[in-house]
Structure 1
C-alpha cells in the first residue's frame, strides 16, 4: 500500500517537472482576433508618428552600404547606460531610401509612452537585397541563412558601441518581423554572446547553431494561419530547444502573416519583455 502511494507521488513529481515552465520552455496560445477596423486604427496611430527623431545614417563596409535610422534615448545622459534595440524589416521594405524600413516594430519606440518609459538607442537598418535567404534542409524544413550584409551589420554594432560608450552591452536586443525575424535569428545564431534577447515574429527559423542559443532569451511569435512563412518552422525551432527555460513560443490561432504584428503595436508588451532581459 505504502509502495503504491510512493510510486504515485513520484509520478506526480515527474509530471510537475515535465510541464512546469520553471524547468523548461513556455508555450502559450492566444485566440486574439483582429478585425479590419482594429487593423486600420492601429496602423493609423503608428503612421501618424513623426519619424524625424530617427537620424539618417549610412554604414559602409568595403563594397557593402547599409542605410540605417538611429534613435537616441530621451534625455540621453552620458553617465547612464541604455539598451540598444535593433529592428529588422520584412522583404517588402527592401531598398535604399532610408525611409521604408521604419515599419511598425521600429515606430513603436516613437510612441510617447514608450519613448518616455523605455529609453534606449534604436537602430533600424535597411537592406538593399534580402537579408536572409530560405532553403529546405534535409528534413524538409524551410530554414534561413544570412546574407553578407548581416555579417557587415555585426561591424556596425561594434562601431556604435565605440561611438556611444553608454550603450549597455549587456542589453542589446533584436526584434524583427518575417524576413526581419529570420535576420534576428541569424544574428543570434552567429554571435549569441553579443545579444541579451530576441523577439522573432513570423520568421523562417535558423537551426544552424542550436547549442549556442539553448539558454538565450528568445520569444517566438507566429500565427497558425500564416501562409507565407510556415508556422511549423517556429514549432520546429521550439522543439529543438527543449531545455531553454528562457524561451517563449506564442501561437496566435486566428492570425496570419499579414496581421500578426497588430496585437503588439499599441501596447508596451514587447518593450517591457525586452527591458527585463540581460545577458
Structure 2
C-alpha cells in the first residue's frame, strides 16, 4: 500500500511538472547575427515599398494634434472583419510631417505577400515629442511612462473603429520598436482589455499594471547587447510576469539596439504570431 501511494505521488508530481512546462512562459535565445550586407539589403527591401496606400489623416482634440497614416485591407469588404494593427515609431521619427513615422515595422504590412495574406487595418501615429519618457524606479531599473498624447490615442482608435465598422475589435494589436515598443507597453497597461496582443521590441518596460497583464498575449524581443534601452529591463518584466502563460521573451544574443529589427523585416513571423491572437 505504501509503495502504491509513493508511485501515485510520483505520477502526480510528473504530470504537474509536465503541465507546468507545457503551459509556462516561453523564453528563447537565438544566435542570430546580422552582417552589413544583410542589414543593408533587408532595410532596402522595406524602404523601397510604396507608401501611398497609407492615407494621411490627423486627429485633433483640444490642444493635441496627432498626424497619422491609415492603411486599409487590400480586398476590403464590409462582409468580412479585419484586425487592426497600431504601430509606434522610435524617437528618431519624432515630428509632424506625417511621413517619417512609417518606419520598418509600419512598412512590413505593405510587403506584397503580407498585404495579401495578412489583411488588416494599420494605424501609424506620429508624435511631435517623446511618446514615452524614461525614469528609474526604486530598484534603479529604467521604466517608461506615457505622454499625454498617448492617452489621446484611445479616442483616435475609437474614431477609426466607428468609421470602419468591419474592424474586428477582438483583434487589435500593438507593435513598436525602441521608444515605440515602450509606448506599445504603455498603451497595453492603460487599457489592457482593449488589445489582443503586443509585440514590444527593444523597449523600456512599464510595470504600472502588472496584474492586468498577467493574462495578455505579450511578445518581448530584445538584443542582449543593447546598451541604449537596457536588456535587463525586459528580463525584469518577464520575471515579474512569471504567471503569464501567454508571454514570449525572445533574446537575440548577438544583436544590439540598432540591428535588432533586421531579422524580422522580410519574414512573416510577426504578422503570423499576431494574427493567431484574440482577446
TM bucket (normalised to shorter chain) is: over 0.9
Q: Spell out, residue by residue over 1:99-153, the C-alpha distance to the aligned partner (whole angstroms, 9 max, x if none).
A: 1000000000000000000110000000000000001001111100000000011
Q: Is 1:108 the counterpart of 2:117 in the alignment?
A: no
Shift of 1:187: 0.4
1:159-198 equivalence runs, <5 A: 159-198=159-198
CA RMSD of aligned residues (A): 1.3
1:1-279 equivalence runs, <5 A: 2=3, 8-9=10-11, 11-18=13-20, 20=21, 22-279=22-279
Relative to the length of structure 1, the TM-score reads: 0.96
Gaps of 5+ in 2: none
Q: How many residues align?
A: 277
Gaps of 5+ in 1: none
Separation (CA, whole Å) in 1 of partners of 2:79 and 2:6: 63
Give the match's secondary structure for 1:85: strand
Separation (CA, whole Å) in 1 of partners of 2:16 and 2:139: 31
Shift of 1:6: 5.4
Separation (CA, whole Å) in 2 of partners of 1:118 and 1:75: 11
Shift of 1:32: 0.5
Separation (CA, whole Å) in 2 of partners of 1:260 and 1:251: 10
Separation (CA, whole Å) in 2 of partners of 1:113 and 1:241: 34
Q: Spell out, residue by residue over 1:164-211, the C-alpha distance to the aligned partner (whole angstroms, 9 max, x if none).
A: 111110000000000000000000000011100000000000000000
Shift of 1:12: 3.7
Separation (CA, whole Å) in 1 of partners of 2:186 and 2:249: 18
Shift of 1:56: 0.6
Shift of 1:13: 3.9
Separation (CA, whole Å) in 1 of partners of 2:137 and 2:74: 45
